[in-house]
Amino acid sequence: MSTNVMKSLRFTEFGPPSVLRIEEVAIPEPGEGEALVRVKAAAINPSDVVNVAGHFKSTVLPRTPGRDFAGIAVRGVHHEGAEVWGSSGQIGIVRDGSHAEYVVVPAETLSLKPKSLSMAQAAAIGVPYITAWASVVSAAQIQPGETILIVGAAGAVGQAATQIANWKQARVIGADIVSDPIPGAESVVNTKTEDLRERVLELTAGKGVDVVFDTVGGPLFEPALRSLGHGGRQVAIASRGDARVSFNLVDFYHNFARLLGVDSYGLTSRQIAEIEDELRYGFETGALQPSPIEIVPFEKAVDAYSRVATGQAKTKQVLSFDEVSKRD
């Protein structure tokens, strides 16, 4: 393969993962304020599958998807030659993403890779941990000794939020559609078989929680909101099913509750880098642990996308470019 081209996962129409193709394209050139990164590993997030399906209005075709990555900074940044990792709400959507051998990103969105993590592990922490930090720390401003209810605690973002809350010395109550223990959660409420508010009140001696981190929304939004104690705050990042929710406004303001929204796509490059630096410290000190991953050769990217789309992937799928580099 010519040194001026690279392999990239592309889609020219919206649809299922089968619309994706591995193609040879020109290696991108970084502009002012941008960096070129040689991608060593890149995670597949559910949002990447949704993007390919055409659910993001801002996506312009043709496009290379992928928001998270880890690799080597090649040009255009003071970290040149260093191992870096990053994420962005723009790449893969309004600009080509990380599911390619090289990616151009805003230079300020890069952070040095945690030394304790492999490239594949670092590539998998972007969206889940950045979203969790922006919600639990930046928005909710969790404090030591507080109790947080994490709705959707078994998911990738929920598990990241649980670790972060533990690190900040908060007590975690998890809620999900299963009763299986969730590492770091003191208790787990099964939202299919238990009344969320009643169970939370039992677990908090009738006081309710200080913070709710709601990764689900929809029909669970109001029960989660009613689980707040006086002066509590709830952070919402999604609403599965119906985007519209309802709740008792009188009860809401009598409780001095606060409702906060967080959109990881809307975070600036600088905000992302600041969070990445905080997370790096957490991973390097052992306060945070990487999630389980499955490393997939880049040539099998479409298959990996299909497993994520159908729910068959039990762990985070991470594309590896090592074999591509060896052959070239």
User: Residue 234: what are its φ and ψ, rounded to 5°?
Assistant: -120, 130
pLDDT at 77 over 80: no
In order of their start, the domains of the chain are 5-125+290-327 (3.90.180.10), 128-265 (3.40.50.720)
Provide the pLDDT for residue 323: 66
Confidence grade of residue 1 (pLDDT, cut at 50, 70, 90)? very low
Work out the average pLDDT over 14-24: 97
- pLDDT the model gives residue 211: 98
Mean pLDDT of the chain: 94
| pLDDT digit string, tens, across residues 285-315 | 999 999 899 999 999 999 999 999 999 998 9
Quick check: 78 pLDDT over 90?
no
Whole-number pLDDT of residue 322: 84
Q: What confidence tens digit (pLDDT) does each residue in 32-59 have?
A: 999 999 999 999 999 999 999 999 989 9
Q: Is the pLDDT of residue 2 over 70?
A: no
pTM: 0.93
pLDDT in tens, 138-184: 999 999 999 999 999 999 999 999 999 999 999 999 999 988 899 99
When mean pLDDT is compared across 122-126, 184-188, 324-328, the lowest value belongs to 324-328
213-242 per-position pLDDT tens digit: 999 999 999 999 999 999 999 999 998 888
pLDDT at 326: 52
Inform me whether the pLDDT recorded for 199 exceeds 90: yes
Residue 22: pLDDT over 60: yes
Query: Residue 324: which pLDDT band, with cuts at 50, 70 and 90?
Result: low
Span 85-103, pLDDT tens digits: 999 888 999 999 999 999 9
